[in-house]
Amino acid sequence: MLRIGPYSLKNRLVIAPMAGVTDRPFRKLCRQFGAGYAISEMVASKPELWQTPKSMRRMNHDGEDAPVSVQIAGNDPQVMADAARFNVSHGAQIIDINMGCPKKKVCKADAGSALLRDEALVARILEAVVNAVDVPVTLKTRTGWSTESRNAVRIAQIAESAGIQALTMHGRTRACGFDDGTIDYDSIKAVKAAVNIPVIANGDIDSPAKARAVLEYTGADAVMIGRAAQGRPWIFRDTLHYFEHGEMPLFPQVTEVSELMQSHLEDHYTLYGDDVGVRSARKHIGWYTEGLPGGDSFRDRLNVLTETTAQLHAVRDYFSGLADRHERLPLAPYQPTTLLN
């Protein structure tokens, strides 16, 4: 069983930290469906941003199962160390360092995956954070800055030497962004062979079959699922079933999805408030209804609603009508992008 410091995770499935997506309500939902571990959205490391509404929401861990893991990002070792201490004082039980985000605004600040160009700075940041807190520190990174400068194994060895207790490796370079380039599972396999800390494989894991294939090929200790869980949090339950039985379960009943959406939305509104909540919930509802009959026209109607009660009623009515025609979600079976690149 995968361990991170004193914490034994209940399985090998992790929900990825995704800014604007994996907030507390969504993390809790993924955990309910079987994810063994969840990492928060990226929290700003600069102290002047800690009291903003966005940061305060991201640091709200009420009702979350242990271990509570918080991701921080930045490029200054002392600032990152201070951010780690601050988040531990506010409930973080694991600190995760982001050196994998490829977004331009993050890389322009020489943070995220931009740090992979400076291995000495990587070491200083990791050592500063590890020495600052008494909780496990983990790292999420990529295979390198570009295909010409892959340094995944060296970064992994630097991380292990610094005291990092688990490593998530996304199998793309920064230059590949989120979609470009095939996933380099060979680099993940090489990293796993080069270090003795747990390695979590990440990148295009979009089906239970793909999850098992990646685990078997790379030897990784766990897999991290990201975009495939958007609107489909039951992918964790399906994957655990596939691991145990070697076959896919039936898709959820329409009534089950309707009920979980109502619960998800109510939790979402509680965290964000009505005004922000009704707007930020639209993307989740869009993902839930993607590929379903009448989903496009439903989303057009939904996006003009400005009150939470109207949004809830619209979702309930849509799924009630769907349940009249279908017992289970009428979706195509999981189709992995490729079984392995």
pLDDT of residue 173: 78
CB 144 within 8 A of CB 122: no
Q: Which residues of the chain have pLDDT under 70?
A: 100-113, 146, 174-181, 341
Of 237, 200, 219, 218, nearest in space to 4 by CA: 200
Residue-level pLDDT at 148 = 72
Helix axes 254-272, 274-289, angle to 10 degrees: 150
Please work out, in degrees rounded to the nearest 5, the angle formed at the alpha carbon of residue 98 by the alpha carbons of 226 and 270: 60
Per-residue burial over 191-219, b = 16 or more CB atoms within 10 Å of its CB, e = otherwise:
bbeebebbbbbbbbbbbbbbbbbbbeebe
Q: What is the pLDDT of residue 180?
A: 67
pLDDT in tens, 246-280: 999 999 999 999 999 999 999 999 999 999 999 99
C-alpha span between 205 and 105 (Å, rounded): 26
Cite the residue boundaries of each domain of the chain with CATH code 3.20.20.70. Answer: 3-245
CATH entry, 254-325, from 1.10.3470, 1.20.120, 1.10.1200, 2.60.40? 1.10.1200
Residue with tokens 């959406």: 261
CA distances from 192 to 220, 279, 303 (A): 6, 41, 45
User: In the prediction, which pLDDT does 112 show?
Assistant: 64
Within the chain, all domains assigned CATH 1.10.1200 are found at 254-325
- The Cα–Cα gap between 309 and 286 comes to 17
pLDDT at residue number 338: 76
Q: Are 114 and 144 in contact (CB under 8 A)?
A: no
**Strand duo 7-8 + 3-4: pairing:** antiparallel
pLDDT, residue 219, reads 98
Over residues 278-294, the pLDDT tens digits come to 999 999 999 999 999 99
If you search the block for the tokens 């939902």, which residue do you land on? 29
Q: Tell me which residue of 69, 66, 168, 83 sits closest to 133, measured CA to CA.
A: 83
How many CB atoms are closer than 10 A to CB 114?
A: 20
**DSSP labels, 167-223:** EEEESS-GGGTTTSS---HHHHHHHHHH-SS-EEEESS--SHHHHHHHHHHH--SEE
Residue by residue, DSSP assigns 70-120 as EEEE-S-HHHHHHHHHHHHHTT-SEEEEEE----HHHHHTT-GGGGGG-HH
The confidence score (pLDDT) of residue 106 equals 57
Query: What is the structure's pLDDT at 101?
Result: 64
Catalytic residue annotation? 101
* Domain covering 3-245 in this structure, CATH number: 3.20.20.70
End-to-end Cα separation, the chain, in angstroms: 27
Decide: 232 and 21 in contact? Cβ < 8 Å: no
CB-side exposure of 151: number of CA atoms within 13 Å? Answer: 20
